[in-house]
Structure 1
């Protein structure tokens, strides 16, 4: 099993640009939440999820890593 942790307790609002690739931290070890900074390699965590958006928008990205809709917050941090 991967050594995943909570990266935070609330989502982070992010301005996402169309056609730009993002690496969402899926393990919680990044100090650059909600994005990956490579700490999963030394911490034994899960690799990032790479994603892009079809239109420029603001989105709330999960930091608790419990979402059922990664990388987007679905309110799981409240459970």
Structure 2
């Protein structure tokens, strides 16, 4: 579940606004750059742990009751490999 959360943050916060660029990568030492997550591991986790009923329901509740937006990687896990 956490891989899809981090990947969502990566596409939501692209660094083209006042927010930090939260792009995952495979570098071990990023220095002071605001990178988050080893991309190869996040992709592996996403593939090995497909969205389950709990995660899909949480996505529905967040959409319906709180933020009115969805995590596209829960609705379309195949987009992980399409984007990265």
Give the TM-score taking structure 1 as reference length: 0.27
Give the TM-score taking structure 2 as reference length: 0.26
Structure ranking higher in helix proportion: 2
Structure ranking higher in strand proportion: 1
Larger Rg, first or second structure (1 or 2): 2
Higher relative contact order (CA 8 A, sep 6+): 1
